[in-house]
Amino acid sequence: MPTRVHEFVWPDRVVIGTVGVPGARTFYLQVRAGSQIVSIALEKQQSSLLAEKIDEILDQLITVEGNRFSVPTGTPIELVDNDPLEAVQEQFRTGAMSLGWDPTTAHVVIEAYPITDVDAGDNGESVDQDGDEVPEMLLVRMPVGAARAFAKRTREVVDAGRPLCPLCGYPVDAGGHICTPPEATP
């Protein structure tokens, strides 16, 4: 059965955002082109690693001798996006992801595949008009400036979680925090 590919080439918007309060946030990768919007859930660690690896790819491209691509070292101001997520309707929860560089189009490429957990009854597939399950994936191709802006925003979203306790280093919940300082433990 063919895979349903949610493909975006040079999307109008591609961002990581959250729903919920720090400590109970759900992270989403949301992509929009025109009226088509796809939101996929992912883990905080996946979001953080995605931003880190995008920056690594772009930083490496800058150092390549004879590189014909204009790769920004920072986020172009016109590409900064601090707006909240648009209406979120989760397409799937992300399992595996891949990240790459397409030199023929000068795009950073993100592929995301759903978690396939047959035991949980969620196998990362959508249902077609005949009621048959169809495997799906997200494919995003974005230019270097948009990729740099995406990475910057993602780091900011990830870092906007609960503050860390200065004594134990664990996150402090809104309802309070009890900890044992490291030097007080036997």
Q: pLDDT per residue over 51-77, tens digit each?
A: 999 999 999 988 887 777 788 888 888
What is the pLDDT of the chain when averaged over all its residues? Answer: 87
| HSE, side-chain direction, 13 A CA sphere, residue 167 | 10
**What is the predicted pLDDT for the residue at 117?**
61
Q: pLDDT per residue over 90-135, tens digit each?
A: 999 999 999 999 999 999 999 999 997 653 445 455 555 556 677 8
Q: Is 39's pLDDT higher than 80?
A: yes
pTM for this entry: 0.82
Buried b (16+ CB within 10 A) or exposed e, 45-70: ebbbbbbebbbebbeebeeeeeeeee
**What is the predicted pLDDT for the residue at 119?**
38
